[in-house]
A and B are shown apart, each in its own frame.
Chain A
Amino acid sequence: DARVTQTPRHKVTEMGQEVTMRCQPILGHNTVFWYRQTMMQGLELLAYFRNRAPLDDSGMPKDRFSAEMPDATLATLKIQPSEPRDSAVYFCASGLVSFDGESDTQYFGPGTRLTVL
């Protein structure tokens, strides 16, 4: 049963520290998404990769957030320096995108719950 995996599942850190979250997409999927979810804002798209290339990261604060896919089996989301307002659950999702840019289904990982003190 193929699944998206994320590590760590929980992270507590102090303001100013660097945080790195990792995601292993489902083998064979060509798109990876990073989302952030808070009670106030709900789900927000942060970044979107297709075939490891970043297609959209307009939802991400560029000054402190960065997303990369060093290879097809690993996506990372880094926050440096972290701030209390970054506290949220960060989800990674992967999927298959057709030629017209549509993804039939996105499969979400279990999320990383980040708390910045």
Chain B
Amino acid sequence: KNQVEQSPQSLIILEGKNCTLQCNYTVSPFSNLRWYKQDTGRGPVSLTIMTFSENTKSNGRYTATLDADTKQSSLHITASQLSDSASYICVVSAPRAGGANNLFFGTGTRLTVIP
């Protein structure tokens, strides 16, 4: 069964600290993996997208890693800021005939950064 599981469900950290969010998936075949940030009351915003051949991708203080062999991805946030408080959603894409990919969503990690 194609699934995307994220951990932890929620996380509270102090401002300035680093943290790592996990995404494990069983989706196969695999096309790409995206990390989104969703602020409360807003739509998700793409942070990174990685294909099978990419191991690491950075976007400012956000660094995503992908191990396609173990089907694991992580999102590392460096020197957290209060504005990092949001939900982080992992989405795995699987190819399908006809050009429309199947998308499998994690339920997200709720990150709270406190001063």
Q: Which of B43, B89, B101, B108 is A111 in contact with, Cβ under 8 Å? A: B43
How would you classify the secondary structure of chain B's contact residues: helix, strand, loop or mixed? loop
Q: Does A106 contact B (CB under 8 A)?
A: yes
Q: Which residue of B lies closest to A48 (CB)?
A: B100
A42-B98 contact, Cβ under 8 Å, with A91-B43, A105-B49, A111-B42 = no
Query: Residues of B contacting A100 with CB < 8 Å?
Result: 99
Q: Report yes or no: B95 in contact with A43, Cβ–Cβ below 8 A.
A: no
Query: Residues of B contacting A60 with CB < 8 Å?
Result: none
Number of B residues with CB within 8 Å of any CB on chain A: 22
Q: Does B56 contact A (CB under 8 A)?
A: no
Q: Does A109 contact B (CB under 8 A)?
A: yes
How would you classify the secondary structure of chain A's contact residues: helix, strand, loop or mixed? strand
Q: Which residue of B lies closest to A55 (CB)?
A: B100
Nearest-CB distance from A64 to chain B (Å)? Answer: 22
Number of A residues with CB within 8 Å of any CB on chain B: 23
A105-B43 contact, Cβ under 8 Å, with A42-B89, A45-B103 = no
Q: Does B81 contact A (CB under 8 A)?
A: no
A93-B105 contact, Cβ under 8 Å, with A48-B100, A55-B99 = no
Q: Which residue of B lies closest to A54 (CB)?
A: B100
Q: Does A104 contact B (CB under 8 A)?
A: yes
Nearest-CB distance from A1 to chain B (Å)? Answer: 13
Query: Residues of B contacting A101 with CB < 8 Å?
Result: 95, 98-101
Interface residue ranges, B against A (CB under 8 Å): 31-32, 41-46, 49, 89, 91, 93, 95, 98-101, 103, 105-108
- What are the 8 closest A-B residue pairs judged by CB atoms, nearest first? A108-B43, A101-B99, A55-B100, A42-B107, A56-B100, A43-B105, A105-B46, A108-B44
Interface residue ranges, A against B (CB under 8 Å): 4, 42-45, 48, 50, 55-56, 91, 93, 97, 100-102, 104-111
